[in-house]
Structure 1
């Protein structure tokens, strides 16, 4: 633990540096292809990179344009139980030196055969209830603690996203006594445990560890107000919502009102996975049927999940096509070229539970482009409740007739499209503007860091 003199020097340093505390980031890295990564990148966009350090797993991207200090979490921290550790890749742990090539350093993608084998292996572990026993052993190594102590963070910022990360962050905060900021992207704790003979056992362990995490956290952040309300009820701590913020100039550059395309383009951009497969397939079937009836409409699904089985299912569709993601800087142009931007959510019980308290990262980006948005989502979810404020045409039914009716309403009414687009731009400016949200975020972290340093000083003076 730092001495009172060191604490005083640290406080003066970040006060003179426009009140930017030194932050250690765990659980997420800077990337533009995941919701957590995009949100992290935008919230810390103007943070001095010499005041940021990131601990990342070997499969994750490191970007020295965003932070000066990285630690690779490798075999020392991720060793599997015997005998599986014998076959495990022995990724080297330790501090990462900046690559000669500036910017993000990508990790090579796993081959398709190895990917499929791992999928089957992980599925078997889930069904037997051994998944968390196998992958839930992330440990804190002496080398990692030494690296953190050398950086001397004022705060730790953590995005929980796996079972192993819970034990890991609890162990880190036992060794490194600085304030903890926990930012929850989705209700991961409620859906991660799959059906198995010991599901109840693992769910109790996760619930217990989640409560320990939030009891130890000093600043509780959520992804939306709907989650904040539920989490305060569930865990007994107030949460503040910080959703993905957007640079209005960046997103509105390509925005323009243009005549409907021929064929009319509906675009979904995002992941394909749990909570989305069924509604995307239904949407594809509806568009395919409309197209076969001579209605000039098509659906594009832009996703990085090109290996998902839904991709192969859609190969024979004539009016539905898939595409890989474009570079992030080209997304405004991509979104602006669409006639309708789609945000869907499954309606089955497990899908609703999965996404109930989540708010898609793309929602604020869609709003800022000013293109008409169609939300297909069940009642009682964060997305649906927010969409009721008018930034999208909301269809809260998964009946094909209702979805088709919503599509046709958007196609036929220019007045409706303009009304939705105008409201979306208004809310993007009021609720999601990067300049406003980043300032609130920095003030919240700065206030916490100052309070922590004052507490440390009082503790040191009292000894």
Structure 2
């Protein structure tokens, strides 16, 4: 049976975000000509990888309208089809380098303010334009694969489904609904309204997916629908080309964190730095803590053994991970962050497993990540926001070579049996094929 034509909504293919990497790996066996993506302009860059898909529709100023007076300051994005492989022609269509000051101002001040007073839930609306409808009609997809993490994206997806009915697959990445109504005078109003709108979208879906087993269990209880777990699979051959197999420590051992500094992660990274400082003092050692993040923590100069390094190309990650002596995967311990991350599973988790480097997790107990690690024993785990406890666990791992080897070997086995893209992508493909069989009903 030939593969169905899939329209992916709200998530582009890329190698620098968790969602983009996961999407690329799940659809790795798909025919390029059978994939298309529709997403907002701020998600697209000139460095997009056209390999898995090059048929995009950028939802720009003709589809997305801002309320007054925000419409006076919002960036104007091109609306229309984009061939990702045609880089020269895309320079006028895709926004290139973005102002760091503008991004910081929006993320650090405007977004929190709008979230508190409730404006963020209606500050902009994405609607079907005549141009998008024509593109959608010409594409004539067999099935929709949807991700949504805001009220705006939920309503837009619902509008697409109403305009052209097709089988719907909805994939949940994070428990963003739990953060709605956390703060602000209108929290109860928005919590109830968005919950109703979100449930309406879920009820339109023919297949529901979650990012972790824990999420799927919770959502079964919360929404009364079955969810199937699909997390980021990995290309084992890609990771085996530099896989670590030697567990003797380097002369100056390194603990590595590679990722983004998100909600509250900065505090956990500082705790790790403090724990390593304590170990160095006690053991008279010179252990380095390397932080490979999108920005430099403002406290880093206070620790002589903490080094920041820029992101590297995805193709270089196997070497970077294998060269570290320990990989650390931290979460935030704040109550607000716990609600968001509780059911999530980091994209880098199976990548860490496949690297062959021993892993330590620093995260709250009641999270999908900790539950998964403890069930399959692929990492050492610290569940208290306590620097002394973290220091002791790290020190034990540094001093115990058989333990490092045992953890790393187990992690590699889990990666091979549960995250092999050849197996997971095939199962994912079969799920979509089965769902797409309903297309004939709509056409």
What TM-score, normalized by structure 1, do the two folds share?
Answer: 0.89
Alignment of 1:224 onto 2:212: yes
CA gap 1:80/1:345 in 2 versus in 1, 3 angstroms: same
Instruction: After TM superposition, give the deviation of residue 103 of structure 1 in Å.
Output: 13
Matches within 5 A, 1:203-218: 203-218=191-206
Matches within 5 A, 1:33-432: 33-61=16-44, 62-101=48-87, 107-119=95-107, 120-135=109-124, 137-258=125-246, 259-293=248-282, 294-304=284-294, 306=295, 311-388=297-374, 389-432=376-419
C-alpha separation in 1, matches of 2:233 and 2:389? 32
CA 1:405/1:254 → structure 2, altered by over 3 Å: closer, same or farther? same
Contact residue 125 and residue 131 of structure 1 kept, 8 A: yes
Question: What's the CA shift string for 1:54-76, capped at 9, x where partnerless?
Answer: 01211223443221311110011
**1:350 CA displacement:** 1.8
2:424 is aligned with 1:437 = yes
The secondary structure found in structure 2 opposite 1:426 is helix
1:144 Cα shift?
Answer: 1.0
Q: Distance in 2 between matches of 1:109 and 1:183?
A: 30
3-state secondary structure, aligned to 1:221: strand
1:24 aligns with 2:7: yes
Runs of at least 5 residues in structure 2 that lack an aligned partner in the other structure: none
**Cα shift at 1:370:** 1.4
Query: How far 1:139 moved relative to its partner?
Result: 1.4
Q: Deviations over 1:359-395 (max 9, x none)?
A: 1111101111111000112222111111112100112
Note if contact 2:10-2:146 (Cα within 8 Å) is conserved in structure 1: yes
2:209 is paired with a residue whose SS is strand
1:116 to 1:366, Cα distance in 2 relative to 1, 3 A? closer
Q: Which deviations, in whole Å up to 9, do the C-alpha atoms of 1:72-121 show, x marking residues without a partner?
A: 10011111012332333332211114543499987423223323433423
CA distance in 2, matches of 1:271, 1:192: 23
Separation in 2 of the partners of 1:378 and 1:122?
26
Change (3 A) 1:112 1:44: same
Cα displacement string for residues 190-232 of structure 1 (whole angstroms, at most 9, x for unaligned residues): 1255511112211222211221111111110111111110011
- Cα distance in 1, alignment partners of residues 425 and 214 from structure 2: 21
TM-score, normalised relative to structure 2: 0.93
Whole-Å Cα distance in 2 between the matches of residues 104 and 403 of structure 1? 48
Aligned counterparts of 2:320 and 2:428: Cα–Cα separation in 1: 29
Is 1:449 equivalent to 2:439 in the alignment?
Answer: no
Distance 1:300 1:83 in 2: 43
- Displacement of 1:289 in angstroms is 3.2
Is the Cα contact below 8 Å between 1:275 and 1:355 reproduced in 2? Answer: no
8 A contact 1:25–1:55 mirrored in 2: yes
**CA RMSD, aligned part only?**
2.0
Q: Distance in 2 between matches of 1:441 and 1:343?
A: 27
**Higher mean C-alpha displacement, 60-69 vs 293-302:** 60-69
Q: Note the residue ranges of structure 1 that are not aligned, 5 or more in a row.
A: 1-14, 458-463
Deviation at 1:163, TM superposition (A): 2.2
Give the aligned length: 434
Q: Using a 3 Å threshold, how does the CA distance of structure 1 residues 34 and 97 change in structure 2: closer, same or farther?
A: closer
Q: Within 2, Cα distance between the matches of 1:56 and 1:444? A: 23
Q: Deviations over 1:370-423 (max 9, x none)?
A: 110001122221111111121001122222221111101111111101111111
Distance in 2, matches of 1:192 and 1:283, equals 30
The alpha carbon displacement at 1:273 in A equals 1.2
